[in-house]
Amino acid sequence: MKRLLLLAIWLLPLLAGCASAATPAATPTPTSLPDIPVSPATPEAPTLTLWLPDWMALPDAPGYNVLMEIITTFEEEKGVRVEIVPKLPRGEGGVLDALRKTKPVAPSILPDIVALPFQDIAPAVDDALLQPLDELFPAQILDDYYEFGRRASSAKDAWMAMPFAADFEHLSFQPAALSEPPVNWEIVLSSGGKYVFPAGGSDSAWTDALLLHYLSAVPDGASPDRNEQALKAQLAFYETIYARGQTDETILQLNDPKGSWDHALQGAAPLAETTANLWLGQRGEATFLRFGPTPAQDGRARYLIHGWAYALITADETHQTLAIELINRLVEVQNLSEWSSQAHVLPARSSALHQWPADDFREFANEALAQGFLTPDFARDQTMARAVHLAVRGVLSGEMTAEEALQQAASSW
């Protein structure tokens, strides 16, 4: 009996454990999760890409802060981002070169807008790189542009670009040597002063000074293309100033007016060619100088205009709409006036220039832009250009007489 009692006591825990294992676990009561609001994805702001020459796009460029203020305001108002990509102005790595190389291999990364020099607009149109603007901008906006701007913006009878900046070569002179600008070659010769102008012509055989001198000697009504009478007068003038010591062969090393302007600022040349851009950028150092047109054989003022224009690349409808608005913002009169003043360039719009403070140079620039013309077609003939340049080099180096140089040029162009 005692053994049975002990066995019962020993089995009780085991039986209880079996009963516990056989009892199914209670099913938890499901609970509902709180609703968590999910915000819809914010669409990414569109990006406009703008290729600009480095003289505009780098942070240390004159006018850069004004340009960025205009663009930042546009970004905030339109909810877009504008990416500026600096490019060289011309040549390998320049704006046109980059467009030509990018389009065949990666058209998706082409910019929406570019700034092009006037002379690259027609080649860009030939390469089908630009979008026409005729249906995208009101035509009356061109009424505010100088004639050179309207001509520069057109190619193949279509409106292809929006001009915004201009520059031209002109004379700087010391009033201590001459009381008035020497408008013709006779005054230059009678002054006895040294006359420094670019005669190197590395980019093109013509420098602006050489071309302006040549054009001024073309007889009225005659074609400037291979005009022996004009070249004869030009070479005779160079022969005379070389013989009198009013210039020397060092000008053959000058490819642009920067070199001759340096001579002027140093007081080394009573007469020297410069540009409006150079004058505006350093007018504080040029208080002892005055300005006037490049001396001409016939005494007439001539101004050869260079400049820049915005062009539309994108054909995407959304990007194109925004790009048009951005171009309009950049060339708006007040914006263009303020930026050009700070950038030391002349605005291509008349009303923008007239918002500059009135002074003698503003009036001179307005007259020049109103009369100014683009590079004539004959000047793009490299055979003629090289022939003229070799003749000029021969005379200004003292290696040839004017007559010998003329004969050589006439036989080779």
Q: Are residues 266 and 148 in the same domain?
A: no
Cα 284 to Cα 35: distance, rounded to the nearest angstrom: 70
Asked if 197 contacts 272 with a C-beta cutoff of 8 angstroms, the reply is yes
Q: What is residue 235's predicted lDDT score, i.e. its pLDDT? A: 98
Enclosing domain of residue 131: 47-166+306-371
Tell me: the pLDDT tens digits for 183-228?
999 999 999 999 999 999 765 689 999 999 999 999 999 999 999 9
Q: Are residues 243 and 296 in the same domain?
A: yes
229-254 b/e (C-beta count within 10 Å ≥ 16 → b): ebbbbbbbbbbbbbeeebbeeebbeb
In a domain, 200, yes or no: yes
Q: Looking up tokens 């089995």, which residue turns up?
A: 11
Q: What is residue 39's predicted lDDT score, i.e. its pLDDT? A: 52
Q: Are residues 194 and 109 in the same domain?
A: no
What is the number of other CB atoms lying within 10 angstroms of the CB of residue 271? 28
**DSSP class of 367:** H
Two structure tokens written together for 49: 């890409």
Two structure tokens written together for 136: 């995208």
pTM for the full predicted model: 0.88
Q: Are residues 244 and 333 in the same domain?
A: no
Q: Are residues 288 and 386 in the same domain?
A: yes
Q: Are residues 189 and 256 in the same domain?
A: yes
Q: What is residue 38's predicted lDDT score, i.e. its pLDDT? A: 53
In a domain, 199, yes or no: yes
CATH code for the domain in which residue 310 is found: 3.40.190.10
Q: What is residue 239's predicted lDDT score, i.e. its pLDDT? A: 98
In a domain, 41, yes or no: no
Q: What is residue 367's predicted lDDT score, i.e. its pLDDT? A: 98
Spacing of C-alpha 377 from chain mean position: 21
Residue 22 has pLDDT above 50, yes or no: no
Q: Are residues 272 and 394 in the same domain?
A: yes
- Tally of residues, the chain: 413
In a domain, 20, yes or no: no
In a domain, 39, yes or no: no
Tell me: the pLDDT tens digits for 371-390?
999 999 999 999 999 999 99
Q: Are residues 261 and 353 in the same domain?
A: no
Q: What is residue 35's predicted lDDT score, i.e. its pLDDT? A: 54
Two structure tokens written together for 389: 């340049």
Which amino acid appears at position 61 of this protein? A
Q: Looking up tokens 């719009």, which residue turns up?
A: 349
Q: Are residues 402 and 282 in the same domain?
A: yes
In a domain, 26, yes or no: no
Q: Are residues 106 and 242 in the same domain?
A: no
Q: Are residues 243 and 392 in the same domain?
A: yes
| Number of domains comprising the chain | 2
Q: Are residues 195 and 145 in the same domain?
A: no
In a domain, 11, yes or no: no
In a domain, 275, yes or no: yes
Tell me: the pLDDT tens digits for 267-315?
999 999 999 999 999 999 999 999 999 999 999 999 999 999 999 999 9
